[in-house]
Structure 1
Amino acid sequence: MSGLQLDGVIKRYGATQVIHGVDLTIEDGEFCVFVGPSGCGKSTLLRMVAGLEETSAGRIAIGGRDVTRLDPAERGVAMVFQTYALYPHMTVAENMGFGLKMTGHPKAEIKAKVDEAARVLKLGDYLDRKPKALSGGQRQRVAIGRAIVRGPEVFLFDEPLSNLDAELRVEMRVEIARLHQEIGATMIYVTHDQVEAMTLADKIVVLRAGRIEQVGAPLDLYNDPDNQFVAGFIGSPAMNFFAGEPAEGGVRVPGLGDVTVPAPRTATGTVTVGVRPNHLELTEGATHMVELSEQLGGVSYHYLTGPDGAKIIVEAHDQRAPKPGSRVGLRFNPARAFFFDGGSGLRLR
């Protein structure tokens, strides 16, 4: 297996530039997830690595080999798409081995590789079935098996779970994580779902408008975001943001009940204060209006409106639920707050 290097990678469609000078290193055997909102360029960047989109400028290297201008078949990659793209008239075994058959590999070699991929993916009992006799999760495993038998240097996944229902998504997420642990391959995975990113990745690349906002391990991005965009995108439910004003002793936050919290010395001018839902606690008081409470058993989410109209989510791990329309107070540890420049959105440390 091999790592991946992107140096100043740019993508243009005519006069419109959609990928802006991306520099990125993915180590051998690493599971890297591209995440970001729709239209951020994550799938375009993945397709450039695969060779399905031409690279307008910059360099792409796999295993130290420059593949920027090579055809997809010459790059040593295998891609798993959002749709399964299985041949309905072929069996599971025939679907998985079709690529090797077309490149002239011996039947015995194809069978051995298909059997091994079926063992890894727990598909041994389904090799003689047609796709129509499989569940959605099983079909996606066949698509992954088709990639495995090719023995690629890098696996590419383009939102492979988005067509599955919620239960199957969780099941397949576990399967893909187990697959990575077993074969130790370099994998690049595209998703808009930050929960998938947090649970699967060794490294997350957060993209916005064709640029990298931050790269790091999941918990590093969660605990130490570089800017307000990353702070709001990583974490579920999303971080709460409040307008803050410099005041004596720190930053005054009307949305939290007009409290003043200690802030970094760099907090001058307009400041945005971020607090995660699990760092807020309901208390006796009348500063915030309860709009709705969602009780999910082990966790509850309370949706509040602050005195300045700010919308707030509080995560609680008890089964108390204030009535909609009632008023509550809020408490939090100021040391848990994040501070961002009100103009640029950059983190103030």
Structure 2
Amino acid sequence: MSGVTLEKAVKKYGEVQVIHGLDLEIAEGEFCVFVGPSGCGKSTLLRMIAGLEETSGGKIHIGARDVTRVDPSDRGVAMVFQTYALYPHMTVEENMGFGLRMTGHPKAEIREKVSEAARILKLEDYLKRKPKALSGGQRQRVAIGRAIVRGPEVFLFDEPLSNLDAELRVDMRVEIARLHKEIGATMIYVTHDQVEAMTLADKIVVLRAGHIEQVGSPMHLYNDPDNRFVAGFIGSPSMNFLEGTVSGGKVHCPLLGETAIDAHVALPSEGSRVLVGLRPQVLSVEEGPSPLKLDIRERLGGVAYDYLVDGKDARIVVETRADEEIPEGTEVRLVFDPADAMFFDGETEARLR
């Protein structure tokens, strides 16, 4: 096991720079998730660590070794891809041991390592089957098993669950979390799904346009985001943002009618634009005159999501009890504790503290 350190890591394609001098330290045994929207550079960064993309500038260390110019096969990493990439003519056992056979390992050692990986992944009963006789989740476990038998210093996962249906994704999330707990290896995982990031990670790295926006534990990013982008990306459903203006030392939001928010942070100058961040979980609604009306209610068993609209561009999501009976189309007011609100500069979108 080894940690991974990036020092001013840069990636360019010709004149186009896609990774902008990133510094990052991933501790030994840590489960680190790169998350962000499509095109933010998370898969490129993972491939740079793997050696599948040349690093244009800066350094990459795995443990104490500078691997910036080291061949991928000598970096001590194993990568699990979005596609399973299994050999269809080979059995599960043969697929999992293929890499060791190619490097000339003794047959007894290969059998021992494949058997141990199969135990960890609960694949003992499938070792003689071929991939076509397996479900999608089982195939992905075989791909992970192929990585395990190599005994890498670092595991790299590139959106490994995106091809699975919703139920299998949940099951495989649990399997990967259990795998990390059992073997304790350093793992770096790429996803655009913030739910995967929140449930799997020890550390989340939020990326946007090749820059790191914030690094921290899942709950730290959820409770203490540095800017609007992180606040809106982490959490499901996403945080609501209300346009507001500073007036008389308070924040006035058109969607709240005459109600002004007594902010608990240092506000910018009079007349400045401010964004008020409110998570759906801290909101409730009550009937009454308001710019907002209840448009749609989604019932999800014990909870429901109310979608409020103002007839223009605004849409607010509120988490409520599923048994509440406010008719759709009713005008409703937002109710919340100002202490639960977050405030962001309207121009820079940085958090006001």
1:89 Cα deviation (Å)? 0.2
**Residue 71 in 1 paired to residue 74 in 2?**
no
Tell me, yes or no, if structure 1 residue 280 matches structure 2 residue 283.
yes
Name the counterpart of 2:333: 329
- Equivalent residue, structure 2, for 1:146: 146
- 1:91 is matched with which residue? 91
Deviation at 1:286, TM superposition (A): 2.6
Matched, 1:342 2:346: yes
Aligned to 2:266: 265
**TM-score normalized by structure 1?**
0.98
Given that residues 256 and 306 in structure 1 are in contact (C-alpha distance below 8 angstroms), is that contact kept between their aligned partners in structure 2? Answer: no
- Between 327-336 and 90-99, report the one with greater CA deviation: 327-336
Q: Match for 1:300 among 281, 299, 304?
A: 304
SS of alignment partner, residue 286 of structure 1: coil
Post-superposition Cα deviations, 1:235-294, rounded to whole Å, max 9, x if no partner, equal: 000000011101124111112234211222233311111100111101121312111010
SS in 1 for 2:99: helix
In 2, the alpha carbon distance for the partners of 1:150 and 1:27 equals 21
Moved more, 305-314 or 65-74: 305-314
Q: How does 1:3-82 map to 2 (within 5 A)?
A: 3-82=3-82
Distance 1:199 1:256 in 2: 34
- Paired with 1:164 and 1:342, the residues of 2 have a C-alpha distance of 39
Distance in 2, Cα, partners of 1:258 & 1:149: 64
Distance 1:325 1:284, change over 3 A: closer
Q: Distance in 2 between matches of 1:321 and 1:165?
A: 33
Who is 1:135 aligned against? 135
2:157 and 2:190 in contact (8 A); partners too:
yes
CA–CA separation in structure 2 for the residues paired with 1:256 and 1:49: 48
2:287, 2:330 within 8 Å by CA — same for their partners in 1? Answer: no
What secondary structure sits across from 1:160 in the alignment? Answer: coil
Partner of 2:314: 310
Q: 1:303 is matched by which residue type in structure 2?
A: Y
- Alpha-carbon contact 2:5-2:61 (below 8 Å) kept: yes
Larger mean CA deviation between 314-323 and 287-296 belongs to: 314-323
From 294, 297, 317, the equivalent of 1:290 is 294
Within-5 A mapping of 1:86-125: 86-125=86-125
1:84-131 per-position Cα deviation (integer Å, ceiling 9, x unaligned): 000000000000000000000000000000000000000000000000
Residues 171-226 of structure 1: per-residue CA shift (max 9 Å, x gap): 00000000000000000000000000000000000000000000000000000000
Match of 1:177 in 2: 177
Residue 283 of structure 1 aligns with an amino acid whose one-letter code is: E
CA RMSD of aligned residues (A): 1.1
Is the Cα contact below 8 Å between 1:249 and 1:261 reproduced in 2? Answer: no
2:178 match: secondary structure: helix
Deviation at 1:308, TM superposition (A): 6.9
Task: Decide whether the 8 Å contact of 1:203 with 1:218 is kept in 2.
Answer: yes
Q: Which moved more, 1:270-279 or 1:179-188?
A: 270-279
Q: Write the letter of the residue equivalent to 2:329.
A: G
Q: Residue type of the partner of 2:80?
A: V
Q: Please give the secondary structure, in 1, of the residue aligned with 2:96.
A: helix
Name the aligned partner's letter for residue 149 of structure 1: V
Say if 2:274 and 2:344, in contact at 8 Å, map to a contact too: yes
Matched residue of 2:244: which SS? strand
Instruction: For structure 1, list consecutive stretches of 5 or more residues without a partner in the other structure.
Output: none
Alpha-carbon distance between aligned partners in 1 of 2:105 and 2:325, rounded to the nearest angstrom:
64
Q: Deviations over 1:141-192 (max 9, x none)?
A: 0000000000000000000000000000000000000000000000000000
> Alignment identity in percent?
70
